[in-house]
Structure formats: C-alpha cells, structure tokens
Amino acid sequence: MKRFLIISNRLPVQIAISDDNIDVTPSVGGLATGMQSVSKSFKSSWIGWSGVEAQNLSSEQQKKVDNALAKENCIDVNLTEEEVELYYEGFSNKTIWPLFHYFSQFVEYEEDQWQAYKAVNQKFADVIAENMEGVDKIWVHDYHLLLLPQMIKERFPEVTIGFFLHIPFPSYEVFRILPWRNEIINGMLGADLLGFHTFDYERHFMSSVRRLLGYDIQINEISLPRRIVKVDNFPMGIDYDKFHDAAIASQKKSVRDKSEVRKELERYYLLYPETKFILSIDRLDYSKGLINRLEAFEYFLQEYPEYRDKVTLVLLAVPSRVGVEQYQQMKSEVDEIVGRVNGKYSSINRMPIWYFYRSLPFQNLVDLYNYCEIALITPIRDGMNLVAKEFIASKTDGRGVLILSEMAGASKEMSEALIINPNDKAQIAAAIQTAIEMPDEEQIERNTILQKRLKRYNVEKWANDFLNSLEKVKMSEEIYLAK
Ligand code: GDG
C-alpha cells in the first residue's frame, strides 16, 4: 500500500512531560477526526510540530517523545524557541493571520520573520524528504505552510500534493499589500490541488494569481507553463454524530454523573425559569468579533429593558496566542466591557454575563451547546467557524437559535440561521429579540434542515471529497504527462 503524508503546523497530539515520563495522547480536534477516516484507507503518517520547544528537552527526552509519537504515526519537526517566536508568533500570526482576516492595521512587515517563515517551511520540507519512502500523496494544511507545496514539488515532482487553507483567502486588493505576495502565491501553486472553505476564497485566490502572475485561468483550473493546478472549495464539516450522541448521552446521566456546567445551568434555571441562555464560544481572537458582540449585547440590554432579567450571556473565551500583543490588548478590552456591563446591569442575584477565560473539557462544551437556547457567533472574519455547526449538532429536541455573522464561511451553508452583519449593533440586538421570541415550531423547522445538512456533509465526507479530488488530479496528471 502506498503511503500518504499529512502535514500541519501542529501534530494532532497533546504531550505531557514529567521528570521521566512522556505522555502522548491524541487530540480530539476536527482535523484529526476527519483524518481518522482517511487513515483507514491509506497508510498515513502525520508530520508537524509537537508543541514542545526543542531546546527544552534533553536528548534522552527527545528520543522518548519521538518513540511515543511514532506509536501515533506522528513525526516531530523540532522547532527552537526562536523559530516559534519568529515563524509562528511572528510571520504566521502577525503577518498572514491579520492580513488574511482583513486586519491590515495589525500586519507587521519584518524581514527577519519572513526569513524564519521560509526557513521553517524548508525545515518541514527536509523532514518530509527524510520520510518519503513509498509516499505518493501529501496533504499540507493551512497558513503556516504556504511555501511548502512548492518546496516539495521542486524536490519530488512526481508526488501529488494537496493543500487546504483553513482561513479566508483575502481579495486581491488586500493580498497585494504583502511585499512577499509573489513568493507566497508561487509557494501555494506547488500543489496540484488547492482547497478553500468557500467559493469566494477560491475566487479571490484565482484573481490574485491572474493579476500577479498572469497565468491563464479557467473554471477550477490554473495553467502553469508545465502543469495544471486544480482549485476548488471544500466546506469543512464536523463530526456530527460525536456531538449529537454526546448530547443525548448527557441528558440520560444521573445527577451524580452530570458535568459541572450542566448542574449549574439546571440549578440556575430552577431559580429563574424564564432565563434564556445566550452562548458565545471562541478563542480570544480579534477576528472572532468578541468586542462588537459584547457591545451589541450591551446595546440590547439598554434598548430592550424588558429582557434585562431574562437573559444571561455565557461567554467562553479560550486563551490563544497570548504572546502576541494584540491578543493581550484585546483580553484587557474584553475584561473591561464585561466589568462595565455586569457593573451596570447586575442585581444581587443575577449577572448578565458569565465570563470564563479558559478552555473547558469536551463534555462541558457539549452541555453548553445543548443547554443554551441561543448561540451568538459574530466574527468579523472567519474561514469557516465550526462552533456554529457544533451548536446545531448538539441540539437534541430541535430547539435552539443560531445567530451567525455573514462574515463566517459557515454562513454560506447555514442560511436557516439568523444571519447578521457583525458591525451592526442594532441588527444583532434585534436578532437577539427575534431569537428569544421565536416559536418552537419555527426553531425546529430551521434546525431540522440544518441538522440534515450537517450530518450529511460531515468532516469525514469533507476529507474524502478532498482526497477523491486529489486522486482524480493524480490520474489526469499521469495522462497529461503521457501525452
Ligand atoms: C480555524 C479557522 C475554521 C473551542 N473552545 C473549546 C473547544 N473549542 C473547539 C471547538 C471547535 C474549535 O475549538 C474551534 O474551531 P473554529 O472553527 O470555531 O475556529 P478556529 O480555531 O479559529 O479554527 C476556522 C477552522 O480552522 C477549521 O478549518 O473553521 O475558521 O479560524 O471545534 O469545539 N474545545 C474544547 N473546549 C473548549 O473550551 N474541548
């Protein structure tokens, strides 16, 4: 059987190191789940960074990490502290991330970060080269590795390369700002198949290729001088059954086995049965629109006073990229607004916002999705947004209302949600009122359609669709070369 390589910045495992023990556990993220189904039909290995900086390990420990990773079919790309700072926190998260999410005011243009980005992409290419025996296909993921497809293609022209971008691809007028735009786009064009979440991202990419490099573009195809690159959209799905089944199982649990979150929500609901819980979950990231969401909620409390005692916003902000300045600043801003709103609208017994700055175990997350009546998801820009899909999948009686930003890729597939513009406070406030007042039958009607779609287009189908297209590209390439 031919081998298949999956490449991403981080490996799909968690590593815990104590004095002489190394514990490696598989992580439960969407990508890892999607790939599990793929690895049934291919012999695959995953190459990426373990999350542990190389110089923090003794050679003995490094060996143990590598052995433990090997058991999970994972191969570590050792990164130093400096590389993490310049390539990961630097170019990936201070240049590409803000630019591709249209936050051009945050973009840094630092030559040393660019050089580190190139060097780390090269490092990935070197580790891939050491592990190429029997490999005929490679799937590279995301914005940390935009140069990698070309680096692999130059060394292994016969190998078929797929690339999937998990974040938006911006319009040409934004992308052109980047001094290294041609290198980036040439890097991506090393792939034989390029995948995006939506048709718009695909279209933006094609337009940048045409304007910057002048290549001939047809629908879904770019003609390079010696080969053809296919481009398509593959909206990423979730592991629907995992969320839905966990939500059903949770409802059947005895009081003793219930999660803390569920016990707390139920206790509160007994005291205040009229309460509607509005859920907000994301990494604390400026692209996710937490500030405008909080301001819209504040506006709602101010303009719709009759609901003040009836709503509670459950705000789960997961710490993210804490080493990057904008993220620290944003944390202070969120703290301040939460303090202001709670200071103004709390009573002795009630607080309008429950604020958690941490991540929660899976079961608590599912219980939040299942229990809260409304989800308020208002990113300024978001490649897809899986939280929106997980919320709907976790609804067991069909009730629940999703308020979703039109700037999230997910909005393209979830038009039954209440779609809002994240910059329009009045519209968001009106949507909150509509959600609170929406009759059960209407909620069930909308969610039945959404659930059917999410169950069908799950993460397994996403991964298989991409790989089937990659297989087709491989076959057409062989025909093209044989001519
Ligand atoms: C990028 C793109 C695109 C969140 N809090 C907890 C927790 N989560 C899990 C959710 C969800 C995932 O994290 C977040 O996924 P998103 O899609 O919402 O956002 P990003 O992390 O920004 O992901 C995005 C995605 O890639 C896939 O292509 O959709 O647009 O930005 O799965 O469940 N999980 C647990 N505890 C938490 O507290 N266990």
Cα(428)–Cα(431) distance, integer angstroms: 5
Q: Which of 400, 423, 404 is nearest to 413 (CA)?
A: 404
The per-residue pLDDT for 324 is: 86
Cα(176)–Cα(257) distance, integer angstroms: 54
132 lines ligand 1 (CB under 6 A): no
**383 CA to middle of ligand 1, Å?**
11
167 lines ligand 1 (CB under 6 A): yes
pLDDT tens digits, the chain, 483 residues: what are they? 678 999 999 998 888 877 777 888 877 666 776 776 666 667 889 999 988 876 677 788 888 888 889 988 999 999 999 999 999 999 999 999 999 999 999 999 999 999 999 999 999 999 999 999 999 999 999 999 999 999 999 999 999 999 999 999 999 999 999 999 999 999 999 999 999 999 999 999 999 999 999 999 998 999 998 899 999 999 999 999 999 999 999 988 888 888 888 888 888 888 888 999 999 999 999 999 999 999 999 999 999 999 999 999 999 999 988 888 889 999 999 999 999 999 999 998 889 999 999 989 999 999 999 999 999 999 999 999 999 999 999 999 999 999 999 999 999 999 999 999 999 999 999 999 999 999 999 999 999 999 999 999 999 999 999 999 999 987 776 666 666
To test the pocket of ligand 1, the residue of 8, 284, 378, 387 to mutate (highest count of ligand atoms within 8 Å of its CB) is 387
CB contact at 8 A, 284 and 317: yes
**283 CA to middle of ligand 1, Å?**
7
**482 CA to middle of ligand 1, Å?**
43
**Token pair belonging to 382:** 């978001």
User: What is the model's pTM?
Assistant: 0.96
To test the pocket of ligand 1, the residue of 33, 354, 386, 407 to mutate (highest count of ligand atoms within 8 Å of its CB) is 386
Q: Which string of DSSP letters, residue by residue, matches 397-428?
A: SS--EEEEETTBGGGGT-TTSEEE-TT-HHHH
Q: Which helix (H) or strand (E) holds 196?
A: strand 193-196
**413 CA to middle of ligand 1, Å?**
17
Residue 20 burial by Cβ neighbours in a 10 Å radius (0-12, 13-18, 19+): exposed
3-state secondary structure of 353: strand
The per-residue pLDDT for 20 is: 72
362 lines ligand 1 (CB under 6 A): yes
Q: Which of 198, 106, 208, 203 is nearest to 382 (CA)?
A: 198
ipTM of this complex: 0.99
Nearest CA to ligand 1 atom 38: 359
386 lines ligand 1 (CB under 6 A): yes
Nearest CA to ligand 1 atom 33: 387
CB contact at 8 A, 175 and 204: yes
The per-residue pLDDT for 302 is: 98
The number of angstroms, rounded, from the C-alpha of 42 to the middle of its chain's C-alpha atoms is: 25
**Residue with token string 């089944």:** 245
